[in-house]
């Protein structure tokens, strides 16, 4: 479904992504682990089109999308959520979801009538609100809801574009352990047709949600395999300087 | 996205009633001032659409207004078109030029956007100034007003012309509201607040900016054509960057991103200008001091101040009153 071939990116003399090759099957849930500065977010930016690689290719459903800009990748089904919330604070939760759904339904350029009143947009908003448990908060302004709800909405906005591949940059960043567990359940309940690539620091999430785990270190893939294999990997324990046996 | 509040409706109704009363009772000079207010109101509505709701602070809206005026003048005087088709042509042409400017400047932000639009404005000014067909620095005269005699309206009469301008202002306001409340308007709001996210959702951001800039240009073109009709003469000075600067001052004075505020600003600015210019030739100084006071007060212009002070309170009272009335009605029905 999503593939990278020998993806490389440097900023000046610093090579932040070194020949990264990944292959995600349809419906796969893969978690990317790695210490700070390992190049995880840069990899996401390369996948989403926010950065252009120095070399290598990105393929979506077998088609080379390396040269496509961000918006065209999104329209082909590649959506992302951000580590820091990128929501529209002055709007309600419903309007945030509606804005994304309207773009997906081709209503974002519509000159006559409110795009959020369109049945197809309302249908997506209702469906996504249910999916990410935002129904009780739909009419609240983003500035009025808790941080945890905003994280859910961050994912909801990305889902409202009905993607086939969703890139999630640390979805549980900044939330407490209780809320993080709720988030794990939420991610686990997402439709299996959706391919998920998640950057995560939370090991529990990684082992709860992931079908496969990829570990980056200094921009290189140093591990690519099943969660069970990751638990026993000596190399990964050294990278993280800890023991995961209790995770 | 633009929303009407109780206060916005109230101020709109007040402005409309005052303008109508003045249009029906004022003498010649009063009517000329009112026409000036109404034409400026259309221009600042156009500017508020892009600056207040899209973050695109334009310094070429004066040039767009001038372009509308010249297009109307040339189509009537040189091409021999009747005034109404010429008016439609002028609006369409200005819209097309504005769309192209919006598309080219869409990638620029902040000061760079302002400078790019200023450059387009100055290019248009220089071109008009140097073009003999447009009268060069002598300007273009003999511009007719539309013939509405079939409807029993004589637009050569100042009062009828002001009422025509009032109707045009109402139409322009309605059009601006329609655009801002549409899918395009919602997308524009999203782009202003987070362009990167809107792009990541799949939106073609430059198209949104260009389309709204084009629609805003159509309103500026309408303002220009009305300005040409009012004095029946156009000079290149209309395209000078100071016209755009003045429009921006009016938008800030009234309240950026409120639509109603710029209307208040236009009325206040023109009234102040004519009131003060009779007393002192340094009226710009007084307007400047008022603008500094408005900006330093951190209120969003005169209307923004009013809205911050009374807007939320009025809406809350209205909501409370509605809630109190609902069970009573239900009981009565029962």
- Domain range annotation of chain B: 6-323
Selected residue with higher pLDDT from B128 and B328: B128
pLDDT at res. A95: 93
Which residue of chain A is at minimal alpha-carbon distance from B187? A108
Query: What is the enclosing helix (H) or strand (E) of A159?
Result: helix A147-159
Q: Is the CB of A161 inside 8 Å of chain B's CB atoms?
A: yes
Q: Does A108 contact B183 at a Cβ distance shorter than 8 Å?
A: yes
Q: Does B184 contact A108 at a Cβ distance shorter than 8 Å?
A: yes
A221 DSSP β-pair partners: A216
Mean pLDDT, residues B263-270: 95
B44 close to B265: Cβ distance less than 8 angstroms: yes
Q: In what order do the strands lie in the sheet with A220-225?
A: A78-81, A165-169, A195-199, A29-33, A212-217, A220-225
Quickly state the pLDDT bin for B9 (edges 50, 70, 90).
Answer: very high
Q: Does B182 contact A115 at a Cβ distance shorter than 8 Å?
A: yes
Q: Which residues of B touch A87 (CB under 8 A)?
A: 194, 197
A208 close to A188: Cβ distance less than 8 angstroms: yes
CB atoms within 10 A of CB B79: 11
Which residue of chain B is at minimal alpha-carbon distance from A121? B183
Q: Could you tell me how many CB contacts below 8 A there are between chain A and chain B?
A: 97
> Chain B, 229-258: which have a CB under 8 Å from a chain A CB?
none
Q: Does B186 contact A114 at a Cβ distance shorter than 8 Å?
A: yes
Q: Does B184 contact A91 at a Cβ distance shorter than 8 Å?
A: no
Compute the mean pLDDT over every residue in chain B, rounded to the nearest whole number. Answer: 91
Q: Is the pLDDT of residue B332 over 70?
A: no
B117 close to B105: Cβ distance less than 8 angstroms: yes
Which residue of chain B is at minimal alpha-carbon distance from A108? B183
Q: A240 vs chain B: nearest CA distance in angstroms?
A: 32
Topology annotation, domain A1-77+163-246:
Rossmann fold (3.40.50)
Q: Does A86 contact B194 at a Cβ distance shorter than 8 Å?
A: yes
Q: Which of A84, A111, A119 is the best mutation test for B, with the most CBs of B within 10 A?
A: A111
Domain edges within chain A: 1-77+163-246, 88-162
Quickly state the pLDDT bin for B325 (edges 50, 70, 90).
Answer: low
Q: Is the CB of A109 inside 8 Å of chain B's CB atoms?
A: yes
Convert the pLDDT of each residue in B164-215 to its tens digit: 999 999 999 999 999 999 999 999 999 999 999 999 999 999 999 999 999 9
CA distance B99 to B211: 6
The shortest CB-CB distance from B197 to any of A69, A86, A91 is to A86
pLDDT at res. B19: 96
- Residue A107 sits at φ, ψ, to 5 deg, of -100, 0
Q: Which residues of B touch A99 (CB under 8 A)?
A: 186-187, 190, 198, 201
Q: Is the CB of A68 inside 8 Å of chain B's CB atoms?
A: no
pLDDT at res. A247: 42
As given in the structure block, the two tokens for residue B129 are 């100034």
For B141-190, the DSSP string reads: E-PPPP-BGGGTB-TTSHHHHHHHHHHHHHHHHHHHHHHHTSHHHHHHHH
The shortest CB-CB distance from A100 to any of B179, B196, B201 is to B201
Q: B214 vs chain A: nearest CA distance in angstroms?
A: 13
CATH of B6-323 among 1.10.287, 1.20.1630, 3.30.2450, 1.10.3470: 1.10.3470
> Chain B, 167-226: which have a CB under 8 Å from a chain A CB?
178-179, 181-184, 186-187, 189-190, 193-194, 196-205, 207-208, 211
CA distance B139 to B135: 5
The ipTM of this complex is: 0.86
B132-B134-B136-B142 Cα dihedral, nearest 10 degrees: 120
As given in the structure block, the two tokens for residue B183 are 């899918």
Convert the pLDDT of each residue in A181-221 to its tens digit: 788 888 888 888 899 999 887 777 777 788 898 988 888 88
CA distance B225 to B70: 8
Mean pLDDT, residues B80-96: 96
The shortest CB-CB distance from A110 to any of B1, B182, B199 is to B182
Among candidates A169, A4, A163, which has minimal Cα distance to A79?
A163
Mean pLDDT, residues B112-140: 92
The reported pTM is 0.88
CA distance B295 to B161: 35
Which residue of chain B is at minimal alpha-carbon distance from A69? B199
Q: Does A109 contact B211 at a Cβ distance shorter than 8 Å?
A: yes
Selected residue with higher pLDDT from A180 and B101: B101
Stretches in chain A below the pLDDT threshold 50 = 243-247
Q: Is the pLDDT of residue B226 over 70?
A: yes
Which residue of chain B is at minimal alpha-carbon distance from A47? B200
Q: Which of B183, B198, B204, B214 is the best mutation test for A, with the most CBs of A within 10 A?
A: B183
Q: Which residues of B touch A98 (CB under 8 A)?
A: 186
pLDDT at res. A37: 82
pLDDT at res. B326: 62
pLDDT at res. A246: 44
């Amino acid at each position: 479904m999503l593939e990278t071939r020998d993806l490389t990116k440097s900023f000046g003399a610093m090579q932040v992504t070194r020949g990264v090759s990944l292959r995600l099957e349809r419906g796969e849930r893969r978690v990317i682990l790695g210490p700070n500065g390992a190049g995880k977010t840069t990899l996401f930016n390369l996948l989403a089109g926010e950065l252009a690689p120095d070399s290598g290719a990105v393929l979506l459903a077998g088609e080379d999308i390396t040269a496509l800009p961000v918006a065209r990748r999104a329209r082909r089904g590649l959506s992302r959520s951000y580590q820091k919330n990128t929501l529209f604070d002055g709007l309600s939760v419903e309007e945030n979801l509606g804005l994304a759904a309207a773009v997906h339904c081709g209503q974002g350029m519509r000159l006559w009538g409110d795009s959020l009143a369109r049945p197809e947009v309302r249908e997506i908003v209702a469906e996504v609100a249910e999916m990410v448990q935002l129904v009780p908060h739909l009419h609240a302004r983003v500035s009025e809801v808790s941080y945890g709800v905003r994280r859910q909405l961050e994912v909801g906005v990305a889902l409202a574009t009905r993607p086939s591949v969703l890139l999630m940059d640390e979805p549980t960043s900044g939330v407490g352990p209780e809320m993080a567990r709720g988030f794990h359940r939420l991610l686990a309940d997402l439709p299996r047709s959706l391919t998920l690539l998640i950057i995560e620091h939370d090991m529990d999430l990684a082992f709860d949600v992931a079908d496969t785990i990829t570990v980056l270190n200094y921009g290189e893939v140093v591990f690519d395999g099943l969660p069970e294999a990751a638990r026993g990997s000596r190399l990964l324990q050294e990278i993280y300087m800890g023991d995961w046996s209790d995770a | 996205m633009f929303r009407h509040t109780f206060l916005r409706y109230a101020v709109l109704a007040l402005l409309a009633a005052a303008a109508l009363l003045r249009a029906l009772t004022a003498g010649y000079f009063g009517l000329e001032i009112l026409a000036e207010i109404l034409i400026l109101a259309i221009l600042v509505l156009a500017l508020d659409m892009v600056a207040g709701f899209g973050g695109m602070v334009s310094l070429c809206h004066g040039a767009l207004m001038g372009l509308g005026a010249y297009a109307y003048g040339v189509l009537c005087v040189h091409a021999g078109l009747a005034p109404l088709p010429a008016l439609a042509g002028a609006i369409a042409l200005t819209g097309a030029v504005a769309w192209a400017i919006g598309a080219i400047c869409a990638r620029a932000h902040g000061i760079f956007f302002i400078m790019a639009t200023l450059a387009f404005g100055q290019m248009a000014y220089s071109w008009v100034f140097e073009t003999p067909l447009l009268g060069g620095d002598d300007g273009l005269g003999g511009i007719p007003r539309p013939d509405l005699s079939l409807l029993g309206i004589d637009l050569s009469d100042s009062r009828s012309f002001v009422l025509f301008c009032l109707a045009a202002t109402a139409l322009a306001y309605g059009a601006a509201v329609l655009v801002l409340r549409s899918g395009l308007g919602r997308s524009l709001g999203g782009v202003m607040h987070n362009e990167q996210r809107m792009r990541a959702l799949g939106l073609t951001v430059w198209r949104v900016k260009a389309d709204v800039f084009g629609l805003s240009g159509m309103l500026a073109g309408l303002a220009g054509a009305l300005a040409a009709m009012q004095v029946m003469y156009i000079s290149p000075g209309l395209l000078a960057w100071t016209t755009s600067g003045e429009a921006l001052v009016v938008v800030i004075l009234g309240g950026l991103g409120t639509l109603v505020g710029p209307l208040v600003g236009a009325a206040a600015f023109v009234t102040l200008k004519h009131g003060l210019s009779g007393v002192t030739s340094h009226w710009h100084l007084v307007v400047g001091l008022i603008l500094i006071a408005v900006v330093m007060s951190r209120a969003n212009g005169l209307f923004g101040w009013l809205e911050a002070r009374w807007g939320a309170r009025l809406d809350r009272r209205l909501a409370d009153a509605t809630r109190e009335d609902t069970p009573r009605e239900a009981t009565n029905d029962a």
